[in-house]
């Protein structure tokens, strides 16, 4: 039983590390996009159309990253952390189900034949 607890804690650690990694990637991507947008600067009448098109692409990508980040964090909030999971309640539920299965097996075969 202790082995399953350790495995569960390890999986929780992996999940938390993965969420932290993804959050860090979002920050990094946003910073890079912001630097690229700032590098282009504010377009004027002399700015080539290709640069304006690239700026538009970067801004669009930035907005998509922001939306993806918001959706990711909203999903994480909806799921809740491992702290919200009551492992004892889950264990009790599993024990109850196993007890019902054992009781059904101990009851023996059903009376009467198959219809």
- What is the percent of the chain with per-residue pLDDT over 70, rounded to a whole number? 77
**Are 53 and 40 contacting, i.e. CB atoms less than 8 angstroms apart?**
no
- Closest CA relative to residue 61, chosen from 40, 77, 45: 40
- Give the contacts of 111 (CB within 8 A, at least 6 positions apart): none
- Give the contacts of 108 (CB within 8 A, at least 6 positions apart): none
Q: What is the reported pLDDT for 19? A: 87
* Neighbour count for residue 32 (Cβ, 10 Å): 14
pLDDT in tens, 55-103: 999 999 999 999 999 999 888 877 765 456 677 888 899 999 998 888 8
């Amino acid at each position: 039983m202790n082995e399953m607890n350790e495995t569960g804690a390890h999986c929780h650690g992996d999940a938390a590390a993965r969420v932290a990694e993804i959050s860090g990637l979002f920050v990094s991507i946003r910073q890079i996009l912001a630097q690229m947008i700032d590098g282009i600067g504010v377009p004027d009448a002399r700015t080539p159309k290709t640069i304006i098109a690239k700026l538009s692409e970067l801004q669009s990508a930035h907005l998509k990253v922001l939306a993806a980040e918001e959706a990711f964090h909203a999903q994480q909030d909806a799921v809740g952390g491992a702290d919200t999971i009551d492992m004892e309640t889950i264990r009790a539920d599993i024990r109850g189900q196993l007890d019902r299965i054992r009781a059904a097996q101990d009851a023996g075969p059903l009376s009467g034949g198959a219809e």
